[in-house]
Amino acid sequence: MTDDALTGADAPVVVIGAGLAGLTTALHLADHVPVVVLAKRSLSEAATAWAQGGIVGVLGADDSIDSHVRDTQDAGAGLVDEHTARFIAENSAQAIRWLVEQGVAFSEDPEGPLGLHLTKEGGHAVRRIAHAADATGLAIHQVLLQAARRHPRITLRERWMAVDLITSRLLKRSESARCYGVYALDIDSDQVQTLPARAVVLATGGLGKVYRYTSNPDTATGDGIAMAWRAGCRVGNMEFIQFHPTCLYHPQERSLLITEALRGEGAHLRVPGLEGEAARFMPRHDARAELAPRDIVARAIDFEMKKHGVDHVWLDATHLGEDFLKSHFPTIHARCLSLGIDIARQPIPVVPAAHYTCGGVVTDLQGTPSAKRPTPACTVPIDWRAIHCWNVWWWGKRVRRPSATRMLP
């Protein structure tokens, strides 16, 4: 690499990851600087497209910032950074409005805020979740991906796997820690390429694939966290792996999430082999029953599986009716039916599965990383706020669904 290339003066911003975080950042940056987005596999394989339930926004007349923050703190068992939670809650409605402006087709309700239908899930006191039936992530990802494809200053590279950050430490330069770009493997040519960058954005997702049962795609292997660590950035809260309570238990499918919204609409968890009220176990574990936060429900399922010696529990939605299930949960209904499970007539076998990596690279509210060493090694000087780049946060145990509002202007 030449000295001129290392300066990054004419280089693009490189965004590693083509999910909601990466595409949102790219779209906000591209009006000001050229952007290159790297996707480890195809552009359609991001975890975003797998998300079902919806996005939290403080939108309804019966809702408030304080209520959302309280729910977040409660679900986080007192470990939540209140300042961060409040900042996200205060900006959540703006994030959803931006998505609506981009053309995301959320489920509608003429009488709802912004004309949106809001649903309720575990850990929330009120209905505050905007959704697109039961395929919210796919609806969002398709719209943002189309917008990125159209933008003349965004270059999308499929099957480019980031290998490492190019830092002054890696280059053995005696200067303040700095990131100059990325080494990336072009999978099709089997060549490692050098990508100079004026700044690098890590939007690489979690590490769910280290677990046997996970809701994550095969690309979720923690690459970005490892690269940041090697570059000298601090990581934190890696012990906080959120388990989604209800992943389909089936020999042909180990990553099919059964959305929490199904329980929000009244589905019950039951122990196989037991009858009547004895089979339904969540009221014995928490007063909120199936609407308790995820960690409580996941632990309850694990407890009942061990207590009764079963491989799974039942999620029973049969009492909701076939018409309701087809209209509100068409994706789950069709997918389960293809596997021989008619959710309108039989319960769904489910188990907890690794879902959300709550820890990660330690940053401030501007997305700037903290360093293990005296000087941060992960950024080139750039005025992110001046170009309205959206931010990313990690904190403790998350309440349901701030994940998709983790990028805010």
Domain count, the chain: 2
Same domain, 41 and 114: yes
The reply to whether 69 and 218 lie within a common domain is yes
Is residue 293 located within the same domain as residue 215? no
Mean pLDDT of the chain, nearest integer: 86
Instruction: Given the residues 198, 263, 294, 398, select the one marked as catalytic.
Output: 294
**Same structural domain, 264 and 380:** no
Range of the domain at 269: 241-355
Give the pLDDT confidence score for residue 107 in this predicted structure.
94
Both 232 and 255 in one domain: the answer is no
Q: Who has greater pLDDT, 8 or 259?
A: 259
Residues 344 and 371 in one domain: no
Domain shared by 50 and 93, yes or no: yes
Task: Please say whether the beta carbons of 177 and 381 come within 8 A.
Answer: no
Do both 199 and 143 map to the same domain? Answer: yes
User: Does the annotation mark 294 as catalytic?
Assistant: yes
**pLDDT higher than threshold 80 for residue 193:** yes
Judge whether 79 and 396 are in contact, CB under 8 Å. Answer: yes
Could you tell me the CA-to-CA distances from 105 to 8, 81, 257, 311 in Å, in that order?
A: 39, 32, 21, 38
pLDDT, residue 358, reads: 87
Question: What residue ranges in 159-286 does DSSP mark as E strands?
Answer: 160-167, 179-186, 191-196, 199-202, 235-236, 241-248, 268-270
CATH code assigned at 310: 3.90.700.10
Q: What's 372's domain CATH number?
A: 3.50.50.60
Q: Token digits for 167?
A: 């830092």
Q: How far is CA 103 from the centre of its chain?
A: 20
Q: What is the pLDDT of residue 6?
A: 52
Predicted structure pTM score = 0.79
Strands 35-39 and 13-16: parallel
Alpha-carbon gap, residue 55 to 114, rounded angstroms = 14
Q: 9: pLDDT confidence band, cut at 50, 70 and 90?
A: low
Segment (H or E) for 84: helix 82-102
Cα(167)–Cα(48) distance, rounded to whole angstroms?
A: 29
Rounded Cα–Cα distance for residues 264 and 216 (Å): 22
Which of residues 339, 355, 371 is at a domain's end?
A: 355
Burial label, 93 (beta-carbon count in 10 A; 0-12, 13-18, 19+): buried
Same domain flag for 265 and 229: no
User: How far apart are the C-alpha atoms of 362 and 347, rounded to whole Å?
Assistant: 41
Distance between CA atoms of residues 189 and 183, nearest Å? 14
Residues 130 and 17 in one domain: yes
What are the tens digits of pLDDT across the range 132-176?
988 899 999 999 999 999 999 999 999 999 999 998 878 878 777
- Rounded distance between C-alpha atoms, residue 297 and residue 163, angstroms: 37
Residues 80 and 124 in one domain: yes
Are 310 and 223 in a shared domain? no
Confidence of residue 409 (pLDDT cuts 50, 70, 90): very low
